[in-house]
Structure 1
Amino acid sequence: MCGITGWVDWVDDLSNQRSALEHMSATLGHRGPDLAGSWLSSHAALAHRRLIVIDPDCGPQPFVYNEKYALTYNGEIYNFRELRQELENLGHRFRTHSDTEVLLHCYLEWGENCVQRLNGIFAFGLWDEEKQRLLLVRDHLGVKPLFYTQRGSAILFASELKALLAHPLVQPEVDRENLASILLPIGHQPGSSGYRNIHELRPGHMVLCERERTQTITYWSLQSAPHTDDLKATEEHLRFLLDDIVRRQLIADVPVVTMLSGGLDSSGLTALAGREFQRAGKTLSSYSIDFVDSATHFENQTLRPSLDAPWVQRVAEHVGTDHHTCMIDTPELVENLLIPMRAHDLPALGQMETSLYIMCKAMKQNATVALSGESADEVFGGYPWFHNERAISTPTFPWFVSMGVERDSDVPSQQRSLSGWLNEDFSRKLQLDQFAARQYEATLAEVPYLEGEDRRAARMREIFYLNLTWFLPMLLDRKDRMSMAVGFEVRVPFCDYRLVEYAWNIPWDMKNTGQIEKGILRNAFSDVLPDDVRNRKKSAYPATQNPSYLKAMQEWTLSILSATNEPVHALINPRVVEAIVRGNVQLPSTEMVVSLCESVIQLNAWLKEYHVKLVL
């Protein structure tokens, strides 16, 4: 993976803007620690930071062809070998073995329609000097990030917001809509960056930027159709896809490992990857996280009914991996709490991201690439809210029920995360309940229903679509920023668009075959995982339950509340926050108190470090 940035301007001459371009590029150094490159013409300036994964000697970027086409690209094209062969048969000649050159030649042969042929995770900017046109493209599920903004006659783009904010034309302004999106626990708002007039290119979309106009085009979206395969054929096809996906995603010229939680998704991927390694006479390395004294402090929860550690050991021994456990203690979590905020350039998810950052840093010591199990729950319906009748029937984002923040929740309104901790003025301006309702309705308007399906099937299709467009992007952003913060690449096999397309139309009852969540996927892994592992109940990403972490978050938050000059005071209701932090107002769980503290801490640091201007 890499970091990309650049801008085009059809009025001003950019050929002397190398200093500004390299300043933008420098902010992305963590994404590409191995090599930096830039290219400028009269009306285009492209930069690249490279993390070497394939063809270490011959893949520098921006990749330029005949001084007419320049490409800066982040990602992996998993079918680049087939594409290369097809292009060679059409007369193309290559000077490297990289997927970057294949991607550029795809454009030379098929123009912007080349995106229809790509299987991978990618974000790229391609300047066509002859047509004086910039093409921006993001992969099908949005695994790789891409932001862009227009300022006068200039269009700027980057892998991360920090590169755009480094340009003098871009200021850290946040309007009402973006602030509402930041403060709401909905997930990741499609197309929103968090900053005023900066856009995130949506998954499966591309933007054609020309002097006269900027055109956004959807090149991929989910299509509903009757599912004609029976149960056995469905299981076999899923397994065929997974075998092919894992095999493709193990291709690299650097060490590849797997992330293992002992849950179904990561265990299945580790088992398939382990088989491929064994065929090559190698041993797969796997990694997990745990917390000091986790067994002592563990309490059974709906989202986390069991500890991961025993299951991790079970799978590692079964597959025969060289397993490594990243053991994390409270001081390390506290010390690194603000790193996710600086990686996102926005308030982040707290310890859920901090621990992942620490884990990626540990994996980076011995590897450059990992496979991870994100999106299986969104694709196959693994979360509790897929199986909770109240969550299914409530007309809002279904995970609100689990979090106790839906409008009809039994939790008193002042204690809900939506607005109870904000001051009255901001609550009135932002109208978070109404904002959430608008976003929910707008998302349902996009759902591709299947003609003739019954109300229950249509509702489950809505639930899946909400998860794929709001919840999954939040997790993919988290995985990208925390891994790339240390120059480490994470691949997500369950985000292969072929798998997502196929699973989208599998009937809900078939997905739950055996009356267990993701039953169809459990069956697909029947020959590579022990039955007890396949039947383990879904357990979410782990979080520390050590009281020392709660205490540290409480103390940090109270110190902010006691300093009335801290910028977050303009947004929050200090009296309510203090009452919750001190335990005078009870929330349904300790985890919600921790989350509130993390939110206040990060929001305050973000406002202060980024000199955010609120335009409300």
Structure 2
Amino acid sequence: MCGITGWIDWEEDVTRQGAILETMAATMRYRGPDAKGIWLTPRVAFAHRRLMVIDPAGGAQPMAYTSGSHTYAITYNGEIYNFRELRGELETRGHTFSTKSDTEVILHAYVEWGEDFTRRLNGIFAFALWDEQRQRLLLARDHLGVKPLFYAQRGSAVIFGSELKALLAHPRVQPEVDRDGMADILGASIIRTPGFGYFHDVHEVRPGYQLIFERERTRVNQYWSLRSAPHPDDVETTTQRIRDLLKDTVKRQLIADVPVVSMLSGGLDSSGLTALAAEEFRREGRQLETYSIDFVESDEYFTGNDMRPSLDAPWVTRVAEHAMTRHHTVTVDTPELLENLLVPLYAHDVPAMGQIETSLYLIFKAMKEQATVALSGESADEVFGGYPWYHYEEILNINTFPWLAMMRRRRSLSSPPRLLSEEVMQKVSPFEYIARRYQEALAEVPRLEGEDAEEARRREIMYMGLTRWLPLLLDRKDRMSMAVGFEVRVPFCDYRLVEYVWNIPWQMKTVDNIEKGILRRALQGILPDDARMRRKSAYPSSQHPSYIKGVCDWALQILNDPNAAVRPYINVDTYRAFANKDNPVLGQDFGIGPLERLIQLETWLKEYHIRFV
């Protein structure tokens, strides 16, 4: 895992702009703390910050390869899990390699198979590849969008980077936000629109896409997408296929030249991966290290709800003992959460989630002390339909994103409280913006001819989760892990598994009348039955009164400042009513997310010198 950045320019000689390139790369030094490199030609400026995971000695980047009179170069972030198979196939075709890295395999795969080579990759990746002879830049991103990649076209230049801050460090990209950006950041913060880059005329390479930039034209190729088709297998065959895919995926994703550990919440997803990984470790005579997070006095202040019905700790112990792992619990207290509340903002370069990201950052920081790579159970709920909103009948036909409908259901509200100022509401029309984004998502859903209405609607909701909700969580995982130079792998995002499960009928997905029933069957014999049948419980958060008070006090400081940058954009009275509550309804109803976001928004407007255009 690394940070990549750079640009091409069809008109200017970029060899004289090395200082700008160095500055862009330096913004992401935490993504790649182990090494750095640049590659400059008159047309191309590539930079790389490296986190050493595979072939520490030979995988330096940017990497160039010359074959005859043809030169190719790449700057790449990610892991290719099938690179050994690809390398073997390429060697049979006459290719020779000077390193043991997957980076070199990507270059040779492009030389051998051309633009279509991306279809052969199984992994998490984002890269920029330059073909000198054809004067062609190729930007590509993995199937589900685990690794980020942003770009902007400015005049004769195409500028790119793993994070927005790298682009903002280039003088041609300014911190300007247009109407859609305002609507998204201020009013649609829990929807992630594919391809949207927040800042004016800044874009994200969409998952499963590659962009080819040539002097005279730009081409957009979708190399992977979900395809709807009848599911041919019975329950037993389906169960076995899922089990086989998971075993193969976990085995592939344990490959590294650095220590690998596993996250363990005691939930079905992380527990299943942990058990499979621990088995692989035992075959090699090793013991897997696992990590979970907890909060000071969590047992005293915990209150369950439909998203999080139970504490994790007892189940973590149960699974760790079953899998025979060496377990570590990272316990977080209020001061740490408050001190690091702005970390998500600086990692995303836009206001983000609050402690749900901060606590993740803190556990990764602790894990980094002993390891460089971890497995995570992220995305199983999106792939298999695990969230409550997949299961409430009244949400099925509400004409919006299902998690928004779920939030309204939990709060017993016909409409959310007005958080934005009247001026902003009129200018950006956030409800209309959300409705437009919802219709865009609906239009993309791959339909299955002859499917009944209920199954078709469930397919729509599953598609929303995979393409508009999951990216939020993948962004969170990437930014919080890479903020400490730590790689997190997500086996449930293996595109082969996602493709297969996509077409499993809902009744089979929920076999045994429980969410993710087919996954639970696949893990039979791998997990103890009580842990295997534990109901879905969301990622934990602190409910400690001291944290709620700390956030409320911080928010009130901003609200009481007549010169606060955020004042023109918010409904001050609504926020003040939230923050003044002695025992906020926020704690159980809205959470303290709106106040955490208010704090980040104030800092963002000031420190990023945001201009609305």
Q: Calculate the TM-score normalised by the size of structure 2.
A: 0.98
Counterpart secondary structure, 2:61: coil
Q: Is the 8 A contact 2:190 2:472 kept in 1?
A: no
Q: Distance in 2 between matches of 1:410 and 1:185?
A: 21
Counterpart secondary structure, 2:15: coil
Name the structure 2 match of 1:550: 548
Counterpart secondary structure, 2:574: helix
The structure 1 residue matched to 2:311, chosen from 307, 310, 320, is: 307
Gaps of 5+ in 2: none
Name the structure 2 match of 1:411: 413
Name the structure 2 match of 1:56: 56
Q: What's the CA shift for 1:584?
A: 9.2
Q: Distance in 2 between matches of 1:311 and 1:550?
A: 27
The structure 1 residue matched to 2:590, chosen from 581, 589, 592, is: 592
Q: What's the CA shift for 1:412?
A: 5.7
Question: 1:542-587: CA deviations, max 9, x gaps?
Answer: 0101011110011000000111111101101112211122139975
Name the structure 2 match of 1:503: 501
Note if 1:81 corresponds to 2:79.
no
Q: Distance in 2 between matches of 1:330 and 1:230?
A: 50
Name the structure 2 match of 1:604: 602
Name the structure 2 match of 1:373: 377
Structure 1 residue identity aligned to 2:55:
D
The structure 2 residue matched to 1:443, chosen from 428, 441, 454, is: 441
The structure 1 residue matched to 2:282, chosen from 278, 288, 296, is: 278
The structure 2 residue matched to 1:394, chosen from 383, 386, 398, is: 398
Note if 1:200 corresponds to 2:204.
yes
Q: Calculate the TM-score normalised by the size of structure 1.
A: 0.97
The within-5 A match list for 1:199-598 is 199-404=203-408, 410-411=412-413, 413=415, 416=416, 420-583=418-581, 587=585, 589-590=587-588, 592-598=590-596
Q: Distance in 2 between matches of 1:213 and 1:300?
A: 55
Q: Distance in 1 between matches of 2:24 and 2:409?
A: 39
Q: Percent identity?
A: 60
Q: Is the 8 A contact 1:385 1:391 kept in 2?
A: yes
Note if 1:104 corresponds to 2:102.
no
Q: Distance in 2 between matches of 1:573 and 1:457?
A: 41
Question: 1:435-458: CA deviations, max 9, x gaps?
Answer: 111111111000001110000110
Question: 1:407-427: CA deviations, max 9, x gaps?
Answer: xx84264xx25xx01110001
Counterpart secondary structure, 1:557: helix
Q: Distance in 2 between matches of 1:181 and 1:502?
A: 32
Q: Distance in 2 between matches of 1:538 and 1:297?
A: 20
Name the structure 2 match of 1:93: 96
Q: What's the CA shift for 1:401?
A: 2.2
Q: What's the CA shift for 1:588?
A: 6.8
Counterpart secondary structure, 2:444: coil
Structure 1 residue identity aligned to 2:50:
R
Counterpart secondary structure, 2:79: strand
Q: Is the 8 A contact 2:211 2:218 kept in 1?
A: yes
The structure 2 residue matched to 1:150, chosen from 132, 153, 163, is: 153
Counterpart secondary structure, 1:404: helix
Q: Distance in 2 between matches of 1:605 and 1:186?
A: 20
Gaps of 5+ in 1: none
Q: What's the CA shift for 1:350?
A: 0.2
Identify which range, 485-494 or 12-21, moves more after superposition: 12-21
Name the structure 1 match of 2:37: 37
Q: What's the CA shift for 1:392?
A: 1.2
Q: What's the CA shift for 1:143?
A: 0.2
Q: Is the 8 A contact 2:395 2:402 kept in 1?
A: yes
Q: Is the 8 A contact 1:142 1:203 kept in 2?
A: yes
CA gap of 1:219–1:273, structure 2 versus 1, over 3 A, is same
Identify which range, 503-512 or 209-218, moves more after superposition: 209-218
Q: What's the CA shift for 1:188?
A: 1.1
Q: Distance in 2 between matches of 1:211 and 1:117?
A: 27
Q: Is the 8 A contact 1:411 1:588 kept in 2?
A: no
Q: Distance in 1 between matches of 2:117 and 2:439?
A: 33
Identify which range, 588-597 or 161-170, moves more after superposition: 588-597
Q: Is the 8 A contact 2:128 2:139 kept in 1?
A: yes
Q: What's the CA shift for 1:30?
A: 0.5
Q: Distance in 1 between matches of 2:360 and 2:395?
A: 28
Q: What's the CA shift for 1:187?
A: 2.1
Note if 1:139 corresponds to 2:142.
yes
Q: Distance in 2 between matches of 1:127 and 1:591?
A: 50
Counterpart secondary structure, 1:75: strand
Structure 2 residue identity aligned to 1:486:
V
Structure 2 residue identity aligned to 1:344:
H
Q: Distance in 1 between matches of 2:147 and 2:455?
A: 31
Q: Distance in 2 between matches of 1:360 and 1:585?
A: 31
Counterpart secondary structure, 1:28: coil
CA gap of 1:130–1:31, structure 2 versus 1, over 3 A, is same
Q: Distance in 1 between matches of 2:582 and 2:299?
A: 29
Name the structure 2 match of 1:179: 182
Q: What's the CA shift for 1:386?
A: 0.3
Q: What's the CA shift for 1:590?
A: 3.5
Q: Distance in 1 between matches of 2:553 and 2:399?
A: 38
Q: What's the CA shift for 1:214?
A: 1.5
Question: 1:129-182: CA deviations, max 9, x gaps?
Answer: 111110000000000000000000000000000000001111000111011111
Counterpart secondary structure, 1:268: helix
Q: Is the 8 A contact 1:579 1:585 kept in 2?
A: no
Structure 2 residue identity aligned to 1:537:
R
Q: What's the CA shift for 1:216?
A: 1.4
Q: Is the 8 A contact 1:106 1:114 kept in 2?
A: yes
Q: Is the 8 A contact 2:578 2:586 kept in 1?
A: no
Q: Distance in 2 between matches of 1:284 and 1:129?
A: 45
Counterpart secondary structure, 2:78: strand
